[in-house]
Structure 1
Amino acid sequence: MANSQSPQPRHLPLTASDLLLILILGLGSARFLLPAIAAMFDLRALVAGDHRVSVVMTMLALQTLLLLFVVYLVAVRWRGVTWQELGLVPLPRIWGGRAVAIAMLSFPLMGAVSWVQQQIVREEFRNPQLTAMAPSEFSWAAYLGTLAVAGLLAPLVEEIVFRGLLYRWIRERYGFVVGVIGSALAFSLLHGIAGLIPAIALLGAILAWTYERAQSIWAPVILHGTYNAVVTTVLYAALAQGIKPPGM
Structure 2
Amino acid sequence: MASTTLTPVVSSTFPSCFLNQSKSNSLLIRSSQCLCLSINRKFDFFLSQSKPSSISLIQSPRSPIFPGNRRLGLVSTRNSSSIVCSYPQQKGSGLNWPILRRWDVPWPWQTITLTSLACGISFVVTGVIETQALPFFGIQIAELTLDEKAELLLIDQGITTAVVLGILFNFTKSFQPLPDDIYRYDFREPFNLQKGWLLWAGIGFLGAAGAIALTGVAMSFSNESPQRETDALVRLLPLIGSSSVRTVCLLVVTGVFAPLLEETVFRGFFMTSLTKWVPTPVAIVISAAVFALAHLTPGEFPQLFVLGIALGLSYAQTRNLLTPITIHSLWNSGVILLLTFLQLQGYDIRELLQSS
TM-score, reference length from structure 2: 0.61
Distance 2:118 2:213 in 1: 31
Which one of the candidate residues 196, 205, 227 is aligned to 1:103? 205
Which residue of 2 is the match for residue 247 of structure 1? 353
**Residues 1:160 and 2:264 are matched in the alignment:** yes
Task: Write the letter of the residue equivalent to 1:61.
Answer: G
The answer for the alignment partner of 1:56 in structure 2 is: 153
2:303 maps to 1:199: yes
Once the two structures are overlaid, the 10-residue window that deviates more, 236-245 or 160-169, is: 236-245
How many equivalent pairs are there?
Answer: 246
Larger CA deviation: 132-141 vs 217-226: 132-141
Kindly tell me: are residues 24 and 130 of structure 1, through their superposed partners in 2, closer, same or farther at Cα, counting changes over 3 Å? closer
The CA RMSD over aligned residues, in Å, is 2.9
Cα displacement (A) at 1:45:
1.0
The residue aligned with 2:115 is: 19
CA gap of 1:214–1:244, structure 2 versus 1, over 3 A, is same
Shift of 1:142: 0.9
Deviates more, 1:131-140 or 1:173-182: 131-140
Superposed, 1:144-223 pairs within 5 Å as 144-223=248-327
Moved more, 119-128 or 156-165: 119-128
Indicate the SS of the match to 1:120. coil
Greater mean alpha carbon deviation, residues 153-162 or residues 119-128: 119-128
Please name the residue that 2:89 is paired with. none
C-alpha offsets along residues 32-90 of structure 1, whole Å, 9 cap, x if unaligned?
A: 333323454444314685533333333223222221111122122x4436494222234
- The letter of the residue matching 2:353 is G
Cα gap change, 1:45 to 1:148, in 2 (>3 Å): same
| Higher RCO (CA < 8 A, seq sep 6+) | 1
1:73 to 167, 170, 195: 170
- Check conservation: 2:291, 2:304, Cα contact below 8 A: yes
Contact 1:56 1:133 in 2 (8 A): no
Describe the shift of the 1:53–1:243 C-alpha distance in structure 2 as closer, same or farther (beyond 3 A): farther
155 and 46 in structure 1: CA distance in 2 versus 1, 3 angstrom threshold: farther
Provide, for residues 153-207 of structure 1, a one-character-per-residue CA deviation record: whole Å limited to 9, x for no partner. 2212221111111111001221112211111111111111111111111111111
Give yes or no for contact 1:113–1:199 (8 Å, CA) kept in 2. Answer: yes
CA drift of 1:213 comes to: 0.6
2:125 is aligned to 29
Unaligned runs of 5+ in 2: 1-73, 75-82, 87-101
Contact 1:211–1:220 (8 Å) recurs in 2: yes
Cα distance in 1 for residues equivalent to 2:299 and 2:333:
21
Instruction: Please list every run of 5 or more consecutive structure 1 residues that lacks an aligned counterpart in the other structure.
Output: none
Percent of aligned pairs sharing the same letter: 17
TM-score when normalising by structure 1: 0.84
**How many angstroms apart in 1 are the aligned matches of 2:124 and 2:223?**
29
Residue 129 (structure 1) aligned with residue 235 (structure 2): no
Please say if residues 161 and 261 of structure 2, whose CA atoms lie closer than 8 Å, have aligned partners that are also in contact.
yes
Amino acid of the structure 2 residue aligned with 1:54:
E
